[in-house]
Structure 1
Amino acid sequence: MSQSPYPWQPWQPGQQGWGVMLASHADRERAVDVLRAGFGEGRMEREEFEERVARAYAARTVGQLASLVADLPQGPVPPSVPAALAPPAFVPVSRPRTNGKAVGAAVCGLLCVPTFGLTGIPAVVLGHTARSEIRRTGELGEGLALTGLVLGWLATAGWALVLLLLTAVSLAVG
């Protein structure tokens, strides 16, 4: 008879290969696990189970163990192993996105110079809104929001100063 690739296949006396290989403690434990599963499924009575377990622990070869479990299914089917996850070094890092209102605040703040301060108030409103959203959601863009706020407030203060001076001049003149 040819050599069986599986140690739990039925073994015939005189068979070469797995059947004559000395059994390890792990082989005995696997055989006892198969016996326990068979007993748990009601395939044998308690006395037969206990006798087979005693013979399994006394077995010297894999063939002797195989003959003890030959008439039983090979135990419960192991659950499928989930696919191995990639180590953290190879997983792409997801960066938080940049807050859109922070970008808008920075753009409006930078446009204050060419628009003579007309985009200052939108820069301030967008900057404050962006900073509160950034604190709440953990998005990026704190520097952009702060840039928009500073430039917006400077433009607004500049226009307020110009209007105040024009009012003072118009009152003085007449």
Structure 2
Amino acid sequence: MRASDSDRARAEDVLKAGYAEGRLSKHEFDQRMAHVHSATTYGELHHLLADLPQGPSPMPAPAPATFQPAPMPYAPARPWSPVPAPPPQTNGSAVGALVCGVLCPFTWGVTSIPAVILGHKARSDVRRTGEKGDGMALAGLILGYLTLAGWMLLLFGIAIAGI
């Protein structure tokens, strides 16, 4: 059977691979390349390539490998977006604690207990969620406790004076 140009090109590739792997010397490679260009039949090409691993006949195609993506070592917390993340909001209980704490002197201490309750709740929420407002919650707590302590001292003083 007569050799085609694609058969000669494939034979050249096999020889180049054999030379690159060190299976052929430079002199032997040059001689075989010259014979490849002058070969007219498939049998002549077969004779030039028979001792090389790929040989003159085409190799069967390898079985297709199934693609398994590598697992990601971590998942991003938030996918990238061109819009920046909104800033953290201020905790509503912290605002309420501060308002109640500031109103304590004007309401005869009635708002001191809500200031203390809201202040503790707000500080817990701020630590858990990362919202803003820890300072406001702390200020509401301090004002609420100071008002409660003032009322306790006043009542204790009245009780001692009455004895």
- State the TM-score, normalizing by the size of structure 2: 0.50
Q: Which has the larger radius of gyration?
A: 2
- State the TM-score, normalizing by the size of structure 1: 0.47
